[in-house]
Amino acid sequence: MKTSLRNLLITAVLMAVGFVLPFLTGQIPSIGNMLSPLHLPVFICGLCCGWQWGAILGAVLPLARSLVFGMPPLFPTATAMAFEMAAYGALAGVFYGLLLKVCAAKGHVPALYGALIAAMIGGRLVHGTAMAVCMGLSGSGYTLQAFLTADFVNAWPGMILHLLLAPPVTLALERARLSAHPALTVRG
């Protein structure tokens, strides 16, 4: 119960952060699209709370933000982002748990970066698939070039930002014993 409550509280705080963070870049949409500030709390949630909580936050955050603020637009953007970000949160949590076991002797840092990179790749593949389905439903097409441009070429500043911020925040939460990822053992 204590772990579930902690995960719920951390997820709620990260949901609030996810609501506010895009306002920092909201006046310049092209910067916001490149930095992807909405993704950061989801990565941190998956790393700190595990795949279930990361997936829930990832699925809910873009849809809730779209309904409350109208940004991102509900269809197709927020809808595709819900799938993408659910994958980010789930994959970050799953890979972190697996890599903590594999990298136990090397510490948490290699596991954090490995999980984050794997989640970034997997989430972007899910986003491309979701956009192709959404665009197909609306009678439009989503080309491979559009996918590569949106999810990799234009997204590299956000990837770097996430690699710079998510691991130190996660480590700080672990040191403060606020992280409740299931793979972490209780330290004495």
| CATH class of the domain comprising 2-175 | mainly alpha
Q: Which residues of 130-161 are buried (b: 16+ CB within 10 A; e: fewer)?
A: bbbebbeeeeeebeeeebeebbeeebeebbeb
pLDDT in tens, 26-58: 777 778 888 999 999 999 999 999 999 999 999
pLDDT in tens, 121-155: 999 999 999 999 999 999 898 999 999 999 999 99
Average pLDDT over residues 167-176: 93
pLDDT in tens, 64-100: 999 999 999 999 999 999 999 999 999 999 999 999 9
Look at residue 186 and tell me whether its pLDDT is greater than 80.
Answer: no
Angle at 148 between CA 88 and CA 29, to 5 degrees: 70
Per-residue pLDDT at 105: 67
Q: Where are the domains of the chain?
A: 2-175
Q: Considering only the C-alpha atoms of the chain, give the largest distance between any 2 of them, rounded to a whole number of Å.
A: 58
Torsion (CA) 117, 147, 51, 76 in degrees, nearest 10: 150
Q: Which residue from 7, 109, 89, 3 is spatially nearest to 40, judged by alpha carbons? A: 89
